[in-house]
């Protein structure tokens, strides 16, 4: 009987030791030296709120205590969104904002790999059985100026971590919308209404789609994209985001 040689694994470990000795891994947020690549230091980890059950079955909003199987939050109970289920990794606040913006506006695209692995773990129930990951698109003018779509980077990283294939160009943004940073919920909904469409020749009939974005604030963008997919016949629409803004006191 012939056994596979363990040498390649040993060489890999040796290579990691050599690289770490020359370029030690650093905290994704503050740059402090850490023990593992693509990790946060203890201080940054403690400052960031990572979401975990118990949470709303539909949107993933954390509950302060267990609410029973299948429990939904008040917002989801009042108005059922066009998507089926959403999950996010962390709370978007003053502690996590810098980390998110380092990817989005700071050209720190290497962060996407770690973020994608976090999203893959946090979104297991959303991603299960999905046919395609579909990043929320940028308008072509914004894509040219930014040079990359952070949502597409995250989708590819989720795929690399074992997630579904990526349909990077199936959704298109038909018009350039103003930045929504200072807009309220109603203004955000008006801003993105009719802004998205399925690319001609692409069909989502009967498919299970998961939208991927960096931040969920009011959900207006995810809702508009989900409506487009529903009109196209998608059987399931999930939403997977890196960070989510939560109302004060929630």
**How confident is the chain (250 residues) per 10-residue block, as mean pLDDT?**
50 50 82 91 95 93 89 90 96 93 89 96 95 95 88 97 96 84 80 90 97 94 96 98 83
Structure confidence at residue 19 (pLDDT): 46
CA distance 35 to 232: 47
Phi, psi of 237 (to 5 degrees): -130, 115
CA distance 149 to 177: 15
CB-based contact 211:237 (threshold 8 Å):
yes
Structure confidence at residue 1 (pLDDT): 42
Structure tokens at 40: 């946060």
Structure confidence at residue 2 (pLDDT): 40
Structure confidence at residue 194 (pLDDT): 85
What is the separation of C-alpha 134 from the centre of its chain, rounded to a whole number of angstroms? 11
CA distance 24 to 68: 45
User: What does the domain layout of the chain look like in residue ranges?
Assistant: 1-47, 49-244
Structure confidence at residue 12 (pLDDT): 53
Find the angle CA(210)-CA(222)-CA(189) to the nearest 5 degrees. Answer: 165
Q: Which residue, chain included where needed, has tokens 């999905």?
A: 130
pTM: 0.86
Structural domain 49-244, CATH architecture? 3-Layer(aba) Sandwich (3.40)
């Amino acid at each position: 009987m012939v056994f596979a040689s363990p040498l390649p694994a040993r060489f890999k470990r040796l290579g990691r030791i050599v690289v770490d000795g020359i370029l030690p891994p650093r905290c994704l947020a503050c740059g402090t030296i850490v023990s593992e690549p693509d990790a946060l230091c203890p201080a940054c980890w403690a400052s960031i709120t990572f979401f975990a059950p118990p949470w709303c079955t539909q949107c993933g909003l954390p509950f302060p205590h267990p609410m029973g199987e299948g429990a939904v939050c008040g917002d989801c109970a009042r108005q059922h969104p066009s998507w089926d289920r959403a999950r996010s990794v962390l709370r978007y606040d003053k502690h996590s904002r810098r980390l998110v913006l380092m990817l989005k506006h700071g050209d720190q695209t290497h962060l996407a790999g770690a973020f994608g692995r976090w999203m893959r773990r946090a979104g297991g129930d959303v991603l299960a059985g999905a046919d395609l990951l579909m990043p929320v698109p940028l308008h072509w003018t914004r894509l040219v100026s930014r040079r990359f779509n952070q949502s597409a980077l995250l989708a590819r990283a989720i795929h690399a971590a074992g997630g579904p294939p990526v349909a990077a160009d199936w959704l298109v943004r038909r018009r350039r919308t103003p930045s929504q940073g200072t807009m309220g919920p109603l203004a955000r909904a008006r801003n993105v209404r009719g802004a998205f469409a399925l690319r001609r020749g692409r069909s989502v009939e009967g498919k299970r789609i998961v939208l991927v974005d960096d931040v969920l604030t009011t959900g207006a963008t995810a809702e508009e994209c989900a409506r487009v997919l529903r009109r196209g016949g998608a059987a399931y629409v999930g939403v997977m985001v890196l960070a989510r803004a939560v109302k004060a006191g929630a």
